[in-house]
Amino acid sequence: MNGKKVNRIFLASVLLNIGAVVLLALLYPAVKLGIVPNLIVSQLILLMPVAFGVFLSKENLIQFAGFHKIKTSTVFMIILFTFLSMPLITLINAVSMLFVDNAVAAISNEILDAPFFAMLLLMGVLGPFNEELICRGIFYQGYKKSGTAMQAMLLSALLFALMHMNFNQAAYAFVIGVIVVLLIEATGSLWSSVLVHVVINSQQVCMMYLLDTGTGNGIEGMQDAQAMLTTDMLFLVIGIYLILAAVTTSLAGCVLAWIAKNEKREGNLRAVWTARKEKKEGKLFTIPLLVAIIIVLFYMSLELVLL
């Protein structure tokens, strides 16, 4: 599995995803998927081209993706690292809201209509595991075979962002994609990025249900507050999180360095910034990648105009 094959897999995923959206739109209202089957179908659409690509390449998925053990002390520090990274993620989300609506808030009523444990399992655990397996286990490792770790990190983060198919989530998904790759290099294990993603998503699901339970109309209130959110108020939020993120992100960097030292992988983490490209297998930038990016950007722009 190399960069060229990754690009073909991503294009196939994009075409399948958009094809499914168009098909469901044509069948509506005869066929109307609820949030739970919708999430299951979307994750299967992401997984199918990857599973087919891995099968054809005859790779050992466990070994290729990097499911290696990490120390117990590292696990606790990864959780700390995750919470220290959240203000930066929130900052990027707030900045994106200067231009587009919050995508998760827009579907919050559908989420809350579903059972809590079903959403926690799908959005908080299975979704993150599937996306990390695809984006960091397959895409990142495949790109590393064709380029430097830095190039692989940025490209895999871009694909992870575009997979969300909206500008709001794409903005902070790219940041998450960079953060978890650095953590993978610091630990040598895909389990570290899975843990980060699970903590972020599970915390978001829990907060939504707690807010709704505590106020009775918490999410509706949040949606109303978002609708009334002025540009000046948003700039105030951005200013606050800019200061907070400057502090917590610096601390997160220290924790990341500690994790790398604890796992004896300081050199691997430094290599992300210093390694030069050697002659490797396949190409990073190919026609399928360019076509996929153009299709996704057109879809996201069209959806923004129509909404």
pLDDT per residue as tens digits for the range 56-97: 888 888 888 889 999 999 999 999 999 999 999 999 999 999
Centre a 10 Å sphere on the Cβ of residue 292 and count the other Cβ atoms it contains.
22
Among residues 173, 169, 96, 82, which one has the least CA distance to residue 132? 173
How many whole angstroms separate alpha carbon 126 and alpha carbon 119? Answer: 10
Contacts of residue 150, defined as CB under 8 A and 6 or more positions apart, other chains included, come to 272, 273, 275
pLDDT of residue 108: 81
pLDDT of residue 297: 94
Going residue by residue through the chain (307 aa), what tens digit of pLDDT does each one get? Answer: 888 999 999 999 999 999 988 888 888 777 788 889 889 988 999 999 988 888 888 888 888 888 999 999 999 999 999 999 999 999 999 999 988 888 887 788 888 889 999 999 999 999 999 999 999 999 999 999 888 999 999 999 999 999 999 999 999 999 999 999 999 999 999 999 999 999 999 999 998 888 877 655 555 555 555 656 677 888 999 999 999 999 999 999 999 999 999 999 999 999 998 877 666 666 888 999 999 999 999 999 987 877 6
Cis peptide before 29 (omega within 30 of 0): yes
Q: CB pairs under 8 A, 24+ apart, for 210-214?
A: 212/112
pLDDT of residue 27: 83
